[in-house]
């Protein structure tokens, strides 16, 4: 089959596959079938490869790095205390001359993990400010990235109502409440925002609800190409103009 004919057949088959139509492939034309399948998979990957996919993975990686760093610091502190015969030591404390070699290696691993975490945090902050400027100005870069990560994508976050955004990150408490085992959660990740965190306990639920409503607006602005208004949304929240 001439190349131009193969290309025409491939295009026709691909169009049928994308339209969900039944396709009658020649039983012996395995090469055409393979090419059409590869092309279809490539198109699907390109559609799925949005910038926030990388951000979501970056947020997950940062959380894992933080967990690893904290676990290493805890183990290092305990081990150093045993060697020194004293109270627990900060992980950055200079080791005594009699410290075992594995302990020295563990301290190096902890230091490397700390540096890796800082680099990843810096990368996330730089990317999220460009990708979601309104959310970044309203929440701060890291909290904005974590919220997008919890939602799964910026598009999903933009489609969520404020009530759902308010409890993102509090899924365990929500499921416990639905199962009759506890009160409904008043906030999730939004507790990390200074306006909510620094408020009186009895006011946190109200402030988290107001902040979630602003987040919904900011997410839609960022998702659908609106003019960044994160600073204005934050000012309105701080002034009680909700």
pLDDT, position 145: 92
**Could you give the percent of the chain with pLDDT greater than 90?**
40
CA distances from 67 to 80, 194, 242 (A): 20, 23, 36
pTM over 0.75: no
Q: What are the structural domains of the chain? A: 7-16+29-49 (no CATH), 51-131 (1.10.287), 133-241 (1.10.246.90)
Please, what are the averages of pLDDT over each run of 10 residues along the chain (242 residues)? 55 68 58 65 54 84 94 92 81 84 93 95 92 94 92 92 86 66 74 89 88 94 90 89 65
pLDDT in tens, 173-222: 666 666 766 666 677 889 889 988 898 888 888 898 999 999 999 999 99
């Amino acid at each position: 089959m001439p190349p131009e004919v193969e290309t025409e057949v491939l295009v026709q088959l691909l169009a049928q596959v994308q339209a969900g139509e039944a396709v009658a492939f020649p039983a012996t034309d395995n090469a055409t079938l393979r090419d059409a399948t590869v092309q279809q998979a490539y198109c699907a990957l390109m559609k799925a490869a949005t910038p926030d996919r990388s951000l979501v993975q970056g947020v997950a990686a940062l959380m894992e790095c933080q967990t690893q760093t904290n676990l290493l610091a805890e183990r290092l502190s305990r081990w150093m205390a045993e060697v020194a015969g004293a109270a627990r030591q900060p992980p950055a404390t200079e080791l005594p001359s009699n410290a075992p070699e594995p302990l020295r290696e563990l301290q190096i691993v902890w230091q490397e993990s700390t540096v890796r975490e800082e680099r990843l945090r810096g990368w996330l902050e730089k990317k999220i400010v460009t990708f979601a400027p309104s959310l970044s100005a309203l929440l701060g870069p890291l909290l904005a990235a974590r919220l997008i990560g919890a939602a799964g994508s910026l598009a999903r976050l933009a489609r969520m109502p404020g009530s759902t955004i308010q409890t993102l990150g509090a899924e365990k408490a929500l499921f416990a409440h639905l199962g009759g085992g506890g009160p409904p959660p008043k906030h999730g990740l939004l507790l990390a925002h200074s306006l909510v965190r620094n408020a009186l306990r009895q006011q946190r639920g109200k402030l988290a609800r107001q902040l979630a409503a602003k987040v919904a607006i900011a997410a839609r602005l960022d998702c659908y190409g609106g003019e960044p208004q994160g600073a204005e949304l934050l000012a309105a929240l701080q002034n009680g103009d909700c």
